[in-house]
Structure 1
Amino acid sequence: MTSFFSLKLHLHSTIFIVLTFLAVQGSGINADGLLLLSFKNSILSDPLQALRNWNSTDQTPCSWTGVFCNNTNGGGGEGESRVTALSLPSSQLVGSIPSDLGSIQHLESLDLSNNSLNGSVLESVFNATELRFLDLSNNLMSGVMPETIGRLQSLRFLNLSDNELGGTLPKTLTTIQNLTVVSLKNNYFSGDLPAGFRSLQVLDLSSNLIDGFLPKNFGGDSLTYLNVSYNRLSGKIPSQFAEKIPTNSTIDLSFNNLTGEIPDSDVFNNQEPKSFSGNPHLCGEITGRSCPITSSPSSSPPAIAAFPKTTEFADTPGPSPIGEKPRRNRLKPGTIVAIIIGDTAGIGFFLMVFFIIHKLKNKKRVETTTVTQTTNDTVNDNWSTTSSSSESRGFTGWSCLRNTKEEYDEESETPSEEDQSQANQRQGMHEHDKKGTLLTVDGENQLELETLLKASAYILGATGSSIMYKAVLEDGTCLAVRRIGENSVVRFKDFDTQVRVIAKMVHPNLVKIRGFYWGVDEKLVIYDFVPNGSLANSRYRKVGSSPCHLPWEARLKIAKGVARGLAYLHDKKHVHANLKPSNILLGSDMEPKIGDFGLERLVTCDTSTKVGVSARNFGSKRSTASRDSFQDLTGPSPSPSPSSFGLSPYRAPESLRSLKPNPKWDVYAFGVILLELLTGKVIVVDESGQGNGIMIEDKIKALRMADAPIRGELEGKEEGLLACFTLGYNCASPVPQKRPSMKEAVQILDKIPSSTSFSQHYFGY
């Protein structure tokens, strides 16, 4: 249903066109010029003044910047200049494309790439039946590609990449006889891969949501380049799929769900192995994986949550559900092998094969001690410590032990043994080169060793300094585990101190930390798993794998929650110093939870206040896409240091001059994120208080600047939207003294009314 606001915008545009038409009747400007003036009126910001010489008083638009004309024969045989091309790439234009731009009768080329144009206007653009060249790439275009694209039989070049287009690819796309280049990468197209391309030479559909199977009758007689990587294609590769594709063509099928053996054909044999990477069930000589010999089906054993290097497994007589008393773990003779093979393209993690050998029947048992600490904070933290003996070196398992004697079974230590164990611990941590220690924050939640070992482990991503896992227990409970890299803190005392500082920070808008493991070769951080991923992967921006958009109420809830979480940290005299969308996780009810607080010191072996070196992004299907925009600046956990990678848009400008973080850094990052929630793009605020040359002065302009997918929801909420814009610009001020405190930001946001029922409507429960 068309909203009242949308009607107002259309009415405003229509009135302008009518008034302009009446004004120029005497000047002689043609219809093409009138349509171009309509386009100029739809532009909200033109910081480079590309349209400054577009004047209604001109006799012809042919002298305007970006406009090209040719002489054509009119009805009376006289030649007249008609617009044939409009080219304004990389002009930093902000606004939309009017619905009648495609009415320019002889338009052959339209290039508005690399701007910030939004809206869904493809239907109208496709009315320009003489179009040969169309490039609207790297904008904020939304909607679907209509079947009417089949009208453009003269079209040769089509580039709509890096937008927010969705829906299925129109079948009429394959009927355009002259089409030679098509790039639709980095959108949300879904459905089947079209078949029947004949004249096409370049086809790039990478980083979409295309599913189904590779078609047998794909065609591709003239193809030189085909890229369908980072999609959801499944099934086997049909031998007929590439039978018409020239043997010297480049084909990229990486990062899908393809299975089976790669067909033995010249075109596939000529590809690099990376063209098939990210399909773990593909096999053949090209992949380096031999295809399995067909055998009778058999049941598979339960998956094992395995961690690299020093993980050891203990075997118990049977399953131990959560809540049962811990058992002594005896190791049986034999070997348990667990392999986790990670993605090799850009993520670079190949996890190790590890094993245990039991030599002595009466091997010394695992010594277990329980340490309880009560903090003076509002939360009492129960710390359970598990140390492995020198003979069982490394991470034996996770075991959250309750702080009571009766929880030990009949074979537990005698009081004298327990006293001796605690005395040994008080001697200092110099013996931890032979031991590993598990610290658990929540002593009431039991995590049995054998239960965790039977969990399914999934790699969420990896960087040069850490690996993130998702562990799913048999009862469905999910945990997130970060393995900290080899360059992390090396002293247990430093690790333990930082752990306890982090764990004291308990708030509904902070990620809950369950425990930590410290060992010579392994340092792990255990969290509650947050189900809806990060804000960077959410659908207010084209960075993730989900096709749906966040509604206005969800964005407002996220902004309020992040503000409260930061205000809590600042009230406790702490600074996050690394806030960005990938460090904001979304719970099942879209309640935001700030993550990675305090991890810089653990990851970088830096116990000072200096902000450490960063890891890069992972966990998103677009994380390795070749694009130097939003997602390249947002990866989970520590962001690039200004000295090595340039300043992230979420890092305060003064961080280049100071290595000591302060709360104003977090306020700045919050401001940029808030503006991004409102507009769907990163807004950089200059010294005048304007963002990308734009200053929000009234409600109408605020509505027009709002992200296109949410404009229809903002009727009657203009005051709240304007307040959010004002707060965002103030927080993101380049002058630290002009930024409000997070407590003040919370007070402003709390005054903006929000609905409590949006999550049920949005998620359907």
Structure 2
Amino acid sequence: MNLFLLFFLLLQLQNLHSSLSLSSDGLSLLALKSAVDSSPDSSTAFSDWNEDDDHPCNWSGISCMNISSSSEPRVVGIAISGKNLRGYIPSELGTLIFLRRLNLHGNKFYGSIPLQLFNATSLHSIFLYNNNLSGSLSPSICQLPRLQNLDLSQNTFSGSLSSDLGNCKQLQRLILARNKFSGEISTGIWSKLEDLVQLDLSANQFNGSIPKDLGELKSLSGTLNLSFNQFSGEIPKSLSKLQVTVSFDLRNNNLTGEIPQTGAFLNQGPTAFLNNPTLCGFPLQKSCQDITSPKSPSENQNHSSRENKNGDSKKGLKPGLIILISLADAAGVAFLGMVIVYVYWKNKDSEACSCTGKSKLGGNLTNSSNICSFCVCLNGFPSNESENESEKGERTSGEGDLVAIDKGFSFELDELLRASAYVLGKSGLGIVYKVVLGNGIPVAVRRLGEGGGQRYKEFAAEIQAIGRVKHPNIVKLRAYYWAPDEKLLICDFISNGNLATALKGRPGQTTSSLSWSTRLRIAKGTAHGLAYLHECSPRKFVHGDLKPSNILIDNEFHPYISDFGLNRLISITGSDPSSSGGFIGGALPYIKPAVQSEKTNYYNAPEARIPGSRPTQKWDVYSFGVVLLELLTGKSPEFSPPTTSTSTEVSDLVRWVRKGFEQESPLSDMVDVMLLQEVHAKKEVLAVFHLALACTEPDPEVRPRMKNVCESLDRIGT
């Protein structure tokens, strides 16, 4: 009996020794495993969390670091996100004194944040968004002296914001969106947060006035999001002191009065202020006079009587002046009529009618009949007012017209048709040829298709708008050819290919040789061109399909945006522009194998992937953000990181980079290996990463305008 008891004690001592072999950090982590309800998801997430290990550094989701050469590795990161885990956050995590990053987002954790967690004083990033957590935001959180990133969005936290939040002096990102926080936000918090770059308090129940000291957030960039709350009163003018790159989102509140017209307010669009019924002034299309209280009937009567006392002379012009103006008008009309008659008879007597002879490009403007009607031409475009029904018929039959847009660009139609050509590329937007004219000047000719013979006016009007776009970072349209069976666009030929080829490397190269300064120059030039299309072009164009393959570069790596406006032109022609028919002299013998149609467009914004959606400028902002990420990482947007045995998650480039920043992965893990040699550019690279993430925000309203993106890029590297 005693022998059996001794054997039992020895067995227990052996088990105790086995459990004590795990480090103290590992024992604290086992409390997290125990706090999670049993389920297939939890079994998968903790499948390799073995209590017989010496330390937890090989467990899924755990990062460790050797704090000193003599000590064991310590836990510095917990990243168990998107696993659908249900449970609570155990207080034992507060014993991980070297823990820096806690990332449990995208699960179903419930309950409050234990106060003991704030004993882990090395914590600088807490990502708990998209869970079922509740309770208040304890002021004790500022006991974390290094806290930089706090994201508690998409939970059910409640209560008010304590003024002690200002003690989180190192805070850079505070995201509390989509909770149940309420009450007024006191002043005195924000002036202390000198490093705060992102603030999102949207979709809560905050009320009262907007704190004036929000204007003291000197480091704030991106979006100040206070939307979908119950803020009231006037917008503080102090917000004008924020950086001009900051975008406001004050939608769906109860704000009143006039929108300030200084500083950062001058760069805001109307969407920033929507659904505030008594808010007025630019950029809203609501005058502040429209919402002022109307005058009483007695005031209106007194005002009317005062006008009557001033006499009837102010109500209209004197009869003598009216007669004089009428005579002047009649004389002007008579003179104009004489000029028209003179020009008409002069053209009729001339053997070389300006409408039937050779155009300055060498194209026949009419077909066989010598019709000398009175034509008015504006910059090579027939005037809509001067084209009658018979002329419309002429446009839909015969050989067609070659029309110059740039007056300084001249060549004969026959010269174009005889020139040798070869295919540069083929896509859903048509075949593009390189054509070398007789004078040695190369041009790019895009074939749009064969249809749309009855829609010349519409086609010409669209071309006219595109032709007015003149910017050093946009490919210039020089001329176009119109015929019932052929539509061609003649543009400048850009000599060094496109950005997609430059990033992937030339033939014989395994990687790109683009330096950081070159990539930054390409990014800045592209941003300037896109901002011009959005803000300054005649129709405030939306490109709708921005990607590296239509960002052309010359021998000095100067970027040119191409292919804008083509979708509208192709819809007018109503045919397949990539069909094999058509003609360009000498093209067919030199045709190279057509480039395969491109894969799914990963440059499209999420909302652009919804069938039937209409392009917006925020589409372009997202696409530009993806281009920036490709310049930074050297990876294509459909890039998917290798999956592990415990994870089947596949992510595109945008989500991969965003996840890397959330987990604070080393910059060297994300940036293109070619850029690692340029150590001096680390701060610039990091700044462009943050700008790219702002451009690729899932919510289009949160993305900045291209104008603001342009200004931010210009400040980088100067």
Q: TM-score surpassing 0.5?
A: no
Q: If the length of structure 1 is used for normalisation, what is the TM-score?
A: 0.40
Q: If the length of structure 2 is used for normalisation, what is the TM-score?
A: 0.42
Q: Which structure's CA Rg is the greater one?
A: 2
